[in-house]
């Protein structure tokens, strides 16, 4: 005797991407928040701080793009 309690229809991958987008969003906020604090404390190191911010942003954004593509690659 088998009963179905709930049926999932649609693309579960899009729900997964929505949840996966939280991580890079938080990461980008942390990067720019701490970068702003670092610029306020040491304005003479602005070039180095800004370069590190851009590098960190690129890595976080790459994770978000990978998360966007994976439901299409492995989706059914």
pLDDT digits (tens, 9 = 90+) for 3-38: 766 666 666 667 777 777 888 889 899 999 999 999
Alpha-carbon dihedral of residues 36, 41, 47, 50, nearest 10 degrees?
-20
What is the per-residue pLDDT for 33?
95
- Residue 57 is predicted with a pLDDT of 93
Reported as a single tens digit per residue, the pLDDT across 42-67 is 999 999 999 999 999 999 889 888 87
**Can you tell me which residue has the tokens 């690659």?**
73
Q: What is the pLDDT of residue 8?
A: 61
């Amino acid at each position: 005797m088998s009963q179905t309690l709930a049926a999932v229809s649609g693309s579960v991958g899009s729900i997964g991407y929505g949840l996966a987008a939280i991580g890079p969003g938080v990461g980008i906020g942390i990067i720019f928040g701490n970068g702003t604090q670092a610029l306020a404390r040491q304005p003479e190191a602005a070039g180095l701080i800004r370069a590190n911010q851009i590098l960190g942003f690129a890595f976080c954004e790459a994770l978000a793009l990978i998360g966007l593509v994976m439901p299409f690659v492995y989706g059914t």
